[in-house]
Amino acid sequence: EVQLVESGGGLVQPGGSLRLSCAASGFTFSNHWLSWVRQAPGKGLEWVANIKRDGSEKYYVDSVKGRFTISRDNAKNSLYLQLNSLRAEDTAVYYCAKEGDPGGFDSWGQGTLVTVSS
Amino acid sequence: AIQLTQSPSSLSASVGDRVTITCRAGQGIRSSLAWYQQQPGKAPKLLINDASNLERGVPSRFSGSGSGTDFTLTISSLQPEDFATYYCQQFYSDPTFGGGTKVEIK
């Protein structure tokens, strides 16, 4: 059974930083693209970033470019998201998601809440 | 980024009703579209991939159709557990989601 478990969320002040982690199990981690998707309170879904199987390619939504960094450790079956220069509008539940074939996100974690507030 | 426009944004329906949700892409995306169901407080669940392929374990009352710019999700006979919010998502380029359709009890 595929499992994705996020951690690292919390309350942070504007301008602060946070590192999210996603521990994966139940599938061959290094064979799949992985993404972070977020959902602001009461709002819709927004893709944030994704990373290729070997970590050689990374893509970001425009609103986080230069502030967020996605990475992975295939030896540890773990995905990460470094969040810097946080803004109030980054407040959201952050999900890690496994990309399926031919596309779409076929497995999701339970999410971790990031709150940016003074 | 490719914009996806879902309609309606919400609807009220009764158990047993046939429900159709549409998703229009700002440019052609072939069949690179997925549909998700999200219950309150839960992660989204993938229902349909590649516009019309039902995911394993998803009830056959769900179906998807379309290609290019216009897509539909149909629930043939609405069940109590289907009251939720539904999202479309394109994977033709960097992923984007539609704004969602909330299906409520009439």
Q: Nearest C-alpha of chain B: how many angstroms from A75?
A: 26
Distance separating alpha carbons of residues B18 and B30, to the nearest angstrom: 26
Among B49, B91, B99, the residue with its CB nearest the CB of A44 is B99
Q: Which residue of B has its CA nearest to A112?
A: B43
pLDDT of residue A52: 97
Q: In this prediction, what percent of chain A has a pLDDT beyond 70?
A: 100
Record: contact B43-A110, CB cut-off 8 A: yes
Collect the ranges in chain B with pLDDT lower than 50. none
pLDDT of residue A103: 87
From residue B93, give the alpha-carbon distance in Å to each of A29, A60, A108, B38, B102.
Answer: 23, 12, 20, 23, 26
From A52, A51, B92, A30, select the one nearest A60 (Cα to Cα): A51
Q: In this prediction, what percent of chain A has a pLDDT beyond 90?
A: 97
pLDDT digits (tens, 9 = 90+) for A87-101: 999 999 999 999 998
pLDDT of residue B64: 98
> Is B46 in the A-facing interface, judged by CB distances under 8 Å?
yes
Q: Nearest C-alpha of chain A: how many angstroms from B67?
A: 15
pLDDT of residue B10: 98
pLDDT of residue B100: 98
> Is the pLDDT assigned to residue A21 strictly greater than 90?
yes
Q: What is the mean pLDDT of residues A103-113?
A: 97
Q: What is the mean pLDDT of residues A26-39?
A: 98
